Structure 1
């Protein structure tokens, strides 16, 4: 569940004390996702691990069954939005952990698949919600020579005034009612090789250049349908780990996106950056808490079997 900020804020953390017992509803959801992870994610992850990267993304691949199987759980973000915030956060954390316990690559893929839809929902853009519904999404925030260096800056303390930033390989030019995108993403964009829609973060020129007076780049956060003219994709990465997660470059050659597809422009851009990174970072911590738990369980089992 993403809450879209209008301004840049630094993260806040506090102590919450010991966790209270799970409610009946929380325990039922946890058990349901754990069963899904055991019966669907782990077998599917093992099967995909043995396949070549091109085979994983090919039509008819078992990878695509992931989304229909997960949908059967009924864990739509709209469900979490109806719950009290403190309960929604706990349930979201449990879901992420149980998915990570099952298979880290597939857990990340599921998280990224719904990312554009969640951002559209947070922005209250009904047209984009409809556009993203039922499509595999990706989060396009990293670039080859810039990495993910579009994160927050504590400008007063950390930004060297007047020094221009690296605008990266993927940029946008905002002209009238259109956003014109050129360049490429990094090869490790999760779901990049299979995505049908992207949530992109990139530097943008609104007609007065890419930089403000301090050298900080202007940016734009935008939902991009990946069936537009000028979009192409590279080969999927053939990796050592997380082979169940399809990753790859996405290329843009004067791709024209309607300006109304923007989630945040100019002054609101860094607020959208902070919202997306806060959600993504939290989801990754949940997933890999599950991975750590699974590793401990395997190690415990092995130490009782080894002679």
Structure 2
């Protein structure tokens, strides 16, 4: 579908100097990006948003159904290799998709989709053998399989180096034991991109990423975790008890998993930025509409200078976040190290979501404290952004390290 929409222009897409910039979007998005976004927007408006209230109440959404629709249209593999069903486009197209996913009227579904193509599969697409790419990447791009990422554990969230899950060598297999926590898509996933210790060496060289089918004996989906927000995204605790996995399911080289995961984290943080922007704008716009209609002391609430100045401040902050997103994207596309700016963007995203949601909720008065409105949705869903994918404090540590201002002797994983 996506190829037919973009047509022959796809052949020229990698030559970024030749693509035409469009208005205020600058050099990041050209005509092909906007066509792609329009196509995805139609799927969101027709097939996803009308069902969000029902899926939120159910506490889960039909991941296989939604992934298949997106995969068939080409949206789960924009930057993945063409030989496995991807589009082979530069990363700016993935960011365009991520930003449009933010138009889904909840946080849980975009996050789940983001795990599929931005968190569980980037390392597979970059470093995986033909065997694992055929068995796991191709069906994930097509939407035939749902993926999850198994990194966090009960006592090792942001501190990835301290994970305890092991994958012991046994002939041509690994025997996996351990547990994973906070696993998005964990209830419905067909396979897990699992980070495990494959040796007893230094913590940064002892880990490997392994593709683990979720129907193997010994894989236990212990429970669905109930959360403050992100209701429609299923989150699970997983156990692995003597799970036998062929060594051919390893991604890349044994012992390189920590490095591969750090690369995946960069895309996860960029996704967090991109997918937040539309939701922030929607929250502000809905608040403008509500305060314009709401009367207090004989005039519209929006007519108060304090209110419209606050909204102007918030919109300015959103535009600054968008500018940072596009700068980070350009760096990533050009092969530059975007670690510092991606970490800054992730930090700013979490804090801005909290600020926008809290200030807008206040402007709604009592209605802001009810469930069925966009600001309370943003308020409960958005709080995760400062915790998941690396807490604010971890982002600050990374930024300080790259600014070279940490005290001497400070250890940072």
- TM superposition score category, shorter chain reference: 0.7 to 0.9
Q: 1:197 to 1:216 in 2, by over 3 A?
A: closer
Rounded to whole Å, the distance in 2 between the matches of 1:229 and 1:140 is 17
User: Given the alignment of the two structures, is residue 279 of structure 1 paired with residue 282 of structure 2, yes or no?
Assistant: no
Q: How does 1:106-117 map to 2 (within 5 A)?
A: 106-114=109-117, 115-117=119-121
Is 2:152–2:163's contact at 8 Å kept on the other side of the alignment? no
Provide the C-alpha distance between the structure 2 equivalents of 1:66 and 1:84, rounded to a whole number of angstroms. 19
* Alignment of 1:25 onto 2:32: yes
Higher helix share: 2
In the other structure, the counterpart of 1:73 is 73
Quick one: distance in 2 between partners of 1:217 and 1:33? 40
Equivalents in 2 of 1:194, 1:106: separation in Å? 13
- 1:48 maps to 2:55: yes
SS in 2 for 1:257: strand
Alignment-derived partner of residue 182 in structure 1: 177
Answer whether contact 1:120 1:263 (CA < 8 A) is retained.
yes
> Structure 2 CA distance, aligned partners of 1:80 and 1:172?
27
Residues 204 and 267 of structure 1, relative CA distance in 2, 3 Å threshold: closer
Q: 1:216 to 1:263 in 2, by over 3 A?
A: closer
> Does structure 1 conserve the Cα–Cα contact (< 8 Å) formed by 2:70 and 2:76?
no
Q: Please state how far the C-alpha of 1:21 moved relative to its aligned partner.
A: 7.8
Alpha-carbon shift at residue 81 of structure 1 (Å)? 5.1
In structure 2, the residue corresponding to 1:285 is in which secondary structure?
A: helix
The answer to whether 1:91 aligns with 2:93 is yes
Q: What TM-score, normalized by structure 2, do the two folds share?
A: 0.57
How far the C-alpha of 1:117 sits from its partner, in A, is: 4.5
| Contact 2:77–2:87 (CA under 8 A) maintained in structure 1 | no
Match of 1:148 in 2: 158
Aligned length: 261
State how far apart, in whole Å, the 1-side matches of 2:78 and 2:290 are: 41
SS of aligned partner of 1:25:
helix
1:193 alignment partner, SS class: coil
Q: 1:211 aligns with which of 201, 211, 214?
A: 201
Aligned with residue 208 of structure 2, among 214, 217, 220: 220
Q: 1:84 to 1:76 in 2, by over 3 A?
A: closer
User: Which has the larger Rg?
Assistant: 2
Deviation at residue 65 of structure 1 after TM alignment: 2.5
Return the alpha-carbon distance in structure 2 between the equivalents of residues 21 and 173 of structure 1.
45
CA offset at residue 171 of structure 1?
1.9
> Using the alignment, how far apart are the partners of 1:24 and 1:216 within structure 2?
42
CA deviations over 1:52-87 (Å, ceiling 9, x no partner) = x4xx3xxxx6454312332343224156656999x7
TM-score (norm 1): 0.75
Cα–Cα, structure 1 residues 39 and 303, in superposed 2: closer, same or farther, change >3 Å? Answer: farther
Structure 1 residue 126: Cα displacement: 2.1
Task: Return 5+ residue gaps in structure 2 as ranges.
Answer: 1-23, 296-413
Contact 2:129/2:252, CA 8 A, preserved across alignment: no
- Cα-to-partner distance string for 1:248-283 (whole Å, 9 max, x where unaligned): 011111111111111144442332122211122221
- Contact kept, 8 Å, 1:41 with 1:106, in 2: the verdict is no
Cα separation, 1, equivalents of 2:113 and 2:87: 24
Determine the structure 1 residue equivalent to 2:285. Answer: 297
SS in structure 2 at match of 1:249: strand
Which of 242, 248, 260 aligns to 1:260? It is 248
Compared CA separation, residues 84 and 105, structure 1 to 2 (3 A)? closer
RMSD: 2.7
Go from structure 1 to structure 2 and tell me whether the alpha carbon gap of 1:25 and 1:224 turns closer, same or farther (over 3 Å shift): same
Shift of 1:246: 0.6
Q: 1:92 to 1:257 in 2, by over 3 A?
A: same
